[in-house]
Amino acid sequence: MCSADIYSVTEITRKIRYLLETSIPTVWIRGELSNFTHHTSGHMYFTLKDEECQIKGVMWREDAVRLFFTPQNGMKLLAQGDVSVYERAGHYQLRVRQMQPMGIGELQMAFERLKAKLLQEGLFAEERKKPLPQYPTRDGIVSSHTGAALRDVVEIIHRRLPGTQLVLNPVKVQGEGAAEEIAQAINAFNSYGKVDVIIVTRGGGSLEDLWAFNEESVARAIFDSEIPVVSAVGHEVDVTIADFVADVRAPTPSAAAEMVVPDRNQLVENVRVRAAHLKELMERKIASWEDRIESFRLSYGLRRPFDMIEHYEQRCDELVKDLSVHVDYFMKEKEHALVLQRDKLEGLNPLSVLRRGYSICRTIPGSVIIREAGTLNIDDQVEVMFHRGTVQARVEAVGAE
C-alpha cells in the first residue's frame, strides 16, 4: 500500500462532497416532513422521508422567510434544492431553496393541526374575547392598500359615520412574508395605542391565497392584542385561523365596517326617539307637580294659615308650661339630694369632732398625727389642734396605757 492511497477523514469527506455537489444538479424531491425544527436563528432543519428511505434537509433563513406557510411534521412536500455534505457530521443532506405542499389536502391538514393546537392552548376561548367599542373615533386597518376590501371598508365607514378617523397599516396579504407583515402591523397598532379597534381584512381567494391568515404568528399577534380585533378575511364561506382567534369574525369586509361603526341615521333616529321619550317623562313630571301644588293650595293649612299659626302658638305655650314644671321638679330633687350629701360629709368632717371638745396632736416636725402615747419620747415637740386655735408643747412624761 502506498501513502498516496491513504486519505484523512477530512480529505475523503471533502472529496465525497465535491463529487456529490458537482455530479447531482438541482433537484425536486417529494417526501413527508418529519423532525422539523425552526431554530431561533431562523434556519429550518428537518428530514424528508418516504416508505423506504430518508434524507436530512436544511433551509437557511434567507430562503425560509419566503415561505407562504409554516411547515409541519407529517406534511407531504415538494422541496427543491442541492445535495451537499455536512462535513462535521459526515452525512449528506439536501440544501432546500424552496418548498411547497403537495396539494390542497396538505394545507387543509396543516390548518386542522394548527387549529387543534391553538384550541388546546385556549386561543379561541370566548371568555377572553374583548367587546367592540360602541362609538369608536379612530379605527386601525391592516390590509393591502390596493385591495377592494380596503375600498369597501373605507366607503362604508365614511357613509355610516362621517368623521371617523381611519389609520391604515398597509401589508402584503398573500405570498411570502405576508404573515410576518400582518403580525407586525397588529403589534405596531398596539404600540401606537391610539386606535379603538383593529380591522384585519382582505378579499376572497383560494386556500393558498388566504394562507397568511392561517399562520401561527398572525394568530398569536391577534391573541396578544390589547385592542379589539375584527377579522374580515375573504367571503362568507372562507374561514381562517384568524377568524377563530379574533374578538369578532365578520363574514366580509363590508360586514366588518358595519360592525365597527354605528349608522349615523340610526343614531339620529335613536336620539329623536329618546328625546321624545324624555319630553313625555318631563311633561308627566310637571303635571304631577302641578297636581301636588294644587293639592297644597286647597289644603286646610293654606286656606286657614292664621288658624294654623294660633294652633301651634297654643301648643308652644303648653310645651313651655310642661317644661317649667319638669324643671322645677328636677331642681327640687337635686337640691334634696345635695342636702343629704352635705350632711354625710359634715358627719365625716374631723373638725366637727373638735367642736365637741376633742383635739388632734401632731408631731413637730412632720405633722404626723399621734394616735398612741407610746410613739412619743421625752422632749419631743408636738402641736395640739383645738376647735379654735393650736398650741405647741414639749413632752415631759409619757404615761403607760
In terms of DSSP H, where are the helices of 193-298? 216-224, 241-245, 253-260, 264-297
Distance of alpha carbon 234 from alpha carbon 249, whole angstroms: 11
Per-residue pLDDT, 68 = 73
Tens digit of pLDDT at every position of the chain (401 positions): 555 678 777 878 788 877 877 778 888 988 889 999 998 888 999 999 988 889 999 999 888 888 777 788 888 888 999 888 887 887 888 999 988 887 657 777 788 888 888 999 999 999 999 999 999 999 999 999 998 999 999 999 999 999 899 999 999 999 888 999 999 999 999 999 999 999 999 988 888 888 999 999 999 999 999 999 999 998 887 889 999 999 999 999 999 999 999 988 888 888 899 998 999 999 999 999 988 888 877 776 666 676 777 778 888 888 888 898 899 899 988 888 898 888 788 777 777 777 777 788 888 888 888 878 878 888 888 888 887 888 888 888 887 65
Res 303: pLDDT: 65
CA-CA-CA-CA dihedral for 96, 98, 103, 108, to nearest 10: 90
> From residue 25, how far is each of 28, 81, 85 by CA, in Å?
10, 9, 14
Cis peptide before 365 (omega within 30 of 0): yes
What is the pLDDT, as a whole number, of residue 227?
96
With b meaning 16 or more CB within 10 Å and e meaning fewer, what string describes 134-164?
Answer: eebeebbbbbbeebebbebbbebbeebbeeb
**What pLDDT, on the 0 to 100 scale, is given for residue 391?**
87
Three-state DSSP state, 78: strand
Q: What is the pLDDT of residue 185?
A: 96
pLDDT at 113: 84
